[in-house]
Chain A
Amino acid sequence: MLSQIEGSKAVAKTVAACRPEVICAYPISPQTHIVEELSRIVKNGELTGCEYVNVESEFAAMSVAIGASATGARAYTATASQGLLYMVEAIYNASGMRLPIVMTVANRAIGAPINIWNDHTDTMSQRDSGWIQLYAEDNQEAADLHVQAFRIAEELSVPVMVCMDGFVLTHAVERVDVPEEADVARFLPPFVPRQLLDPDQPITMGAMVGPEAFTEVRYLAHQSQLDAVDVIERVSAEFASVFGRHTGGLVRGYRLEGAGTVVIALGSVLGTLKDAVDAEREQGHAVGVLGITSFRPFPYDAVRAALAGVAQVVMVERAFAVGVGGIVAQDVRTAVEGTGTRVHTVVAGLGGRPITQASLRGVLAEAYAGELGRLTFLDLDRAVVAAELAREHAAEAPRAAARTAVRSPDAADTVPAGGAVPVR
């Protein structure tokens, strides 16, 4: 139904339309209105055949989802930020046991320092967890991706994270055509588990696997992610045939025709980027946008094909690897290996800092001029950083002097040659 609705509520209604049988959630910050709305929907009797489990932690939330999924129930939960970190051990168990759980992550920063606002540090920390990760550009896509996520998860028997920008999307009220149950039923068949915990036919799941077979189990998980590349694309196309709109899929290009420069991003910044690129095109700059919806699995072929003939890429990332640089950029570099396409990383929007068209267009101007470096922090307050570095340097001087004194010949009478400490 076409509604003017908060992102979180649109997702909650969509999840309900997917008829999950178990929803578990830990209702504390960082959490979203999603599970709050779902609890209301279940309690009101609008969603029958579903048990809503109020658990005692995010670790328990994922553990309950694992148990539910293993017994053949369609299971759903949602979390964010530190909550995601708290369930990490169980996250790996879910993917290791190939349980098709769907989880929303309302992307938020990770502390310390404490920060409740949006960036992608939380889900990027789980990029190698074996879960599929799909990133929503707007709230329509956030809603639609959940319908597709259950299909993808259950077809491949792999859990799926739907990543939507915290606050920027979850708290935005905008027009969403919320998928309705009747349409979802035409698209999403009942869950038929690949294997099942059944007292009449007992099996053990997630049992001990020694060195003789662990590699093979891991390889099969890898293969399932490779298979997911085709499945994600096909499910998106089938969704379009039922719902009449194209959302999801692997990547989506915008004004790529003849583009010498392409900006790549994940999530809600894509909308701002498209407006910025329209303005750039009006000024005659050959620039386009490539949105990556599927980060895991990473669609290497689709990215490489979309970037054919492109001179340079500006990879806008809402997270980064400290001491290294871009995270998504590493995969993009792999995708364009040997093509000569240059990849610049721009770290932007950390901890909720707004990403503005003006700043993005400033970066693009540097890129056209060949002045954009390998790694840029958008809108970095250089004066603050310089002052803090100077302060740290000043505070370090006496400590460095103390270390030097211990090592210097002047200290030889207190530390005898050979390093032996005299015994008194």
Chain B
Amino acid sequence: MFQVRIHGRGGQGVVTAAELLADAAFRQGQYAQAFPSFGSERTGAPVVSFCRISAAPIRVREPVLAPDALIIQDATLLAGIDVFAGLVPTGYALLNSRHSFAALGLGDRVAPLPPGHAIRVPATELALAHLGRPLPNAALLGAFAALYPGLDLDAVLAALRERFPGAVGERNVAAATAAHDAALAERAATAGTKERVDA
């Protein structure tokens, strides 16, 4: 079983991201379970959602306590919440930021992860460019398909097109594809050299 925890803020499509991820996994023939953390839903408030992916039916319903992957939609959460809590040593971390983990003071947190497992993409900027709105979730899912070998970009794009029919879907597809490319480039830059330090 592969467990993903998504951190973001109300209004950023955190719950939708988990549902889209589950839908993409379903399209790949996997069992998947997506659910939100059940807080009061307010715009801007910290929100967590979860997604489990497995070749076998999923029965467990507790929150994801030891994620195999983290998707961090909003870097401003890092100051107040230990988003890395429970991340397994072989896990993945995907961060929406123009800045590197090291520049954000998180070098120590991602250093133990295998090379190429912690990457950042400027998903908000890509969303603004392609959607015209700062909704990073679709872009991050495209990037996640570049990070996690179990997820295909085509499945993500199909899930996006079903969820957002028409032009909106195509704009999300463009954002996800651009982020996928950015993530591949970031992986190539960070794999083997651990985290690249920049300003």
Contacts and interface: CB of A to CB of B under 8 A. Distances in A.
A118 B38 CA distance: 9
B58 interface: yes
A306 B58 CA distance: 25
A352 B35 CA distance: 13
B60 A173 contact: no
Contact of A272 (B23, B40, B57, B62): B62
Contact of B35 (A116, A171, A274, A275): A171
A184 to B, nearest CB: 23
A175 B26 contact: yes
A269 interface: yes
A356 B62 contact: yes
Nearest to A275: B60
A171 B59 CA distance: 15
Interface string B57-80: 111111101000000000000000
Nearest to B27: A4
Nearest to B35: A172
Interface string B13-49: 0000011001100110001111110101000000000
A274 B60 CA distance: 8
Contact of B62 (A4, A167, A352, A355): A355
Nearest to B30: A175
Given A4-B22, A4-B23, A167-B38, A175 B32 contact: yes
B19 A6 contact: yes
Contacts of A138: 59
A172 B65 contact: no
- Name the residue in A173, A354, A357 with the highest tally of chain B Cβ atoms < 10 Å from its Cβ: A173
Contacts of B33: 172-174
Given A171-B35, A175-B31, A352-B38, A357 B62 contact: yes
Contact of B26 (A4, A269, A352): A4
Contacts of A354: 62-63
A117 B35 CA distance: 14
B22 A173 contact: yes
Contact of B65 (A168, A175, A271, A356): A356
B32 A271 contact: no
B62 A173 contact: no
Interface in A167-192: 167-168, 171-175
Interface in A253-310: 268-272, 274-275
A168 B63 CA distance: 10
B32 A4 contact: yes
A213 to B, nearest CB: 47
Size category of the A interface is: 20 to 34
B172 to A, nearest CB: 18
A269 B62 CA distance: 9
A268 B62 CA distance: 10
A277 B51 CA distance: 22
Contacts of B62: 272, 354-357
B60 A357 contact: yes
Contacts of A274: 59
Interface in A76-122: 116-118
B23 to A, nearest CB: 5
Contacts of B22: 4, 173-174
Contacts of B18: 173
Contacts of A357: 60, 62
B81 to A, nearest CB: 17
A4 B29 CA distance: 11
A293 to B, nearest CB: 16
Given A4-B22, A174-B22, A175-B26, A168 B34 contact: no
Contacts of A173: 18-19, 22-23, 32-35
Nearest to B63: A354
Contacts of A271: 58-61
A116 B59 CA distance: 24
Given A4-B22, A4-B23, A172 B34 contact: yes
A269 B19 CA distance: 21
Interface in A353-374: 354-357
A271 B26 CA distance: 20
A168 B61 contact: yes
A272 B32 contact: no
A115 B60 CA distance: 24
A155 to B, nearest CB: 31
- Name the residue in B22, B35, B57, B62 with the highest tally of chain A Cβ atoms < 10 Å from its Cβ: B62
A175 B30 CA distance: 9
Nearest to A274: B59
A334 B31 CA distance: 40
A174 B36 contact: no
24 contacts: A4-B22, A4-B26, A6-B19, A117-B38, A138-B59, A168-B35, A168-B61, A171-B36, A172-B33, A172-B61, A173-B23, A173-B33, A174-B22, A174-B32, A269-B61, A270-B59, A271-B58, A272-B59, A272-B61, A274-B59, A275-B59, A354-B62, A355-B61, A356-B62
List the 5 shortest-distance A-B pairs measured between CB atoms, nearest first.
Answer: A271-B59, A4-B26, A173-B34, A172-B35, A356-B62
Interface of B: 18-19, 22-23, 26-27, 31-36, 38, 40, 57-63, 65
Given A175-B31, A272-B61, 10 more contacts: A4-B26, A4-B27, A116-B40, A117-B38, A138-B59, A168-B35, A174-B31, A270-B59, A275-B60, A356-B63
